[in-house]
Amino acid sequence: MTAAIDLEIASSVDLVLSVAVATSVPLVREELTFVQDGRPLAVRELVDSAGSRLHRLQGEAGMLEIRYAAVVDDAPVPPAAVDELEVVTYLRPSRYCPSDELFDQARRRFRGLTGRELVDAVTDFVATSTTYTPGLSQGTDSAVTTLTTGQGVCRDYAHLVIALLRAMDVPARYASCYAPGLDPMDFHAVAEAHLDGAWHVLDATRLADRSSLVRIATGRDAADCAFLSYHGAHLTLPRLEVDAWLEGPDGRVAPDAAAADHRALLRLA
């Protein structure tokens, strides 16, 4: 998997990137570089409680080139233990997943459903009621906006799934990831639901094969998992290119999302 990001920076700025795979992912090798005016910049790595790796640096005026490349192993990874505080955190409303505002609608629509049946019903509802529309949703849109407009991109689908599940008392969280075979290719976002003592990945866009996803970051919603955040100056993003693929005996392999089982219970490493 690779990511190429160019930032045109107006003046000194505090940057935080979240593009490296999470600590739970079995890495074979990786390289992450930050180069400005031909010189590498010093970067500090911060790891949060969910295992998300953040890279923080001070950028200066000019073009900053960020490059990431990683190879990961497909060996199964034992699921991390789930603690009580984590479950409570992901039951609460959050900025983009205001489950309290969707409480009445969720209770009417999914009345009487619990467990696996509820999770499947919520995912199917979002998948069929929302149209994937790149470029039309805003970065400030919440699950309420997505439910109202019926359109969005992967983050919007994930937010709506999460908010509806939390409104039905199911802990749910957000994950950013690399998605081999995703079309259009980009950083991808999915939801995870806590069911039967474990976290299971849900993707209402149905644009990716969940079995091949690679976790980058985990949080309450996109506010916790943004690939880029910055403070102190203006910048533009003239280049963002993401790619991810599986490596088979004969070279690159792109999973077929259309042929994937979208109802199977799967865990995201």
Predicted confidence at residue 269, as pLDDT, reads 74
DSSP, collapsed to helix, strand or coil, labels residue 104 as helix
Tokens standing for residue 229 = 């955040």
Is 36 in contact with 203 (CB distance < 8 Å)? no
10 Å CB burial of residue 79 (0-12, 13-18, 19+) is: middle
Could you tell me how far CA 21 lies from the centroid of its own chain? 11
Q: Which helix (H) or strand (E) holds 223?
A: helix 222-225
Predicted confidence at residue 201, as pLDDT, reads 98
Between strands 198-202 and 44-47, the pairing is: unpaired
Q: Which helix (H) or strand (E) holds 163?
A: helix 154-167
Predicted confidence at residue 254, as pLDDT, reads 79
CA atoms within a 13 Å half-sphere pointing along the CA-CB vector of 242: 17
Query: Sign of torsion, CA 100 163 96 146?
Result: negative
Buried b (16+ CB within 10 A) or exposed e, 92-124: ebbebbbbeebbeebeeebeeeeeeebbeebbe
Residues of the chain with pLDDT under 70: none
Q: Which helix (H) or strand (E) holds 47?
A: strand 44-47
Predicted confidence at residue 136, as pLDDT, reads 81
pTM of the model: 0.95
Predicted confidence at residue 182, as pLDDT, reads 94
Q: Over the chain, what is the mean pLDDT? A: 95
Q: Which domains does the chain have, with CATH numbers?
A: 2-75+226-253 (2.60.40.2250), 84-225 (3.10.620.30)
